[in-house]
Amino acid sequence: MSSNRFTSFREFFPYYLAEHSVPTCRALHYTGTILGTGVALYALLTMQWWMLLLYPLIGYGFAWVGHFFIEHNKPATFTYPRWSWMGDYKMLWLWMTGRLKPALEDAEKLYGQGTGAVNRA
């Protein structure tokens, strides 16, 4: 299914969620997204521009550990970098607002469940 060409973020997001079926992987994404955003904001507020280089290292570092060692799938960032970045923030927001479970259930209906479910479909 990863060979699909999505034409909108709305189409892409359930695929993105299916690629994050393991809670530990999602937790690593949340950690990277929050820490990376904090570093980026600090860099902007203090005008320490070099620190902006840390943003992708922190955000993607945590996320890729989750994919390579926990989910055992290819990060969506490699094919859909902008939508993957947007997906990180949307998934985090849904989790923080307690609305992630229904979205994960919908993704499971479309793509299956479990580690690397989309890559096996």
pLDDT, one tens digit per residue, over 1-12 is 445 689 999 999
- pLDDT tens digits, 63-83: 999 999 999 898 888 899 999
Whole-number pLDDT of residue 113 = 66
- Token pair listed for 18: 């299916």
Residue type, 68: F
With a CB cutoff of 8 Å and minimum separation 6, the contacts of 98 are none
Whole-number pLDDT of residue 112 = 79
φ, ψ (nearest 5 deg) of residue 7: -110, -5
CA angle 1, 12, 35 (to 5 degrees): 115
- pLDDT tens digits, 3-44: 568 999 999 999 999 999 999 999 999 999 999 999 999 999
